[in-house]
Amino acid sequence: MGEDEVFVYPADLYGFENEVFDLYMDCNFIEALKVQGKILSRRRGHCRIWIAEDDIAGAFFLAELGNIKLNLPSYAISEERSIHANATWRVVDAVVKAIEELSDEY
C-alpha cells in the first residue's frame, strides 16, 4: 500500500459500534450479531431511518459472513436484498426478533 492509501475493512461500511467491530475482527459473528440486535432494539424509534437501514444491513452482513440463517418474514427482505429502500420499524422488529431466536439454535 502506498503512503496515502488507507485499508478499509468491509465492516467499516456499516459503521459498527466498537464492540460489534471487535467481535467481527475476532470472527465471532454470532456474538457480534447478538450485540447488533441489542443495538437495533435500543435505537428502535430513537434514530433516523437511514441509521436503522445501516444497522439492518450490518446485521445481514454479519449473518452472511457467519453462515447464520435469520428466519425473517417475507416482508423483511426480498430476494434482491433491497432492504435499504424498504427499511421500517416493522422490519427492525422482525430482525431483532430473528436475532433473539438465534440464542436457542446456536
What pLDDT digit, counting tens, does each position of 56-66 carry?
889 989 999 99
Which of 17-31, 46-60, 76-90 has maximum average pLDDT? 17-31
> Dihedral of CA 6/66/104/78: which sign?
positive
- Of 33, 86, 30, whose CA–CA distance to 58 is shortest? 33
pTM of the model: 0.76
- Of 2, 79, 92, 99, whose CA–CA distance to 46 is shortest? 92
Q: What is the Rg, in whole angstroms, of the alpha carbon atoms belonging to the chain?
A: 14
* CB 32 within 8 Å of CB 24: yes
* CB 10 within 8 Å of CB 68: no
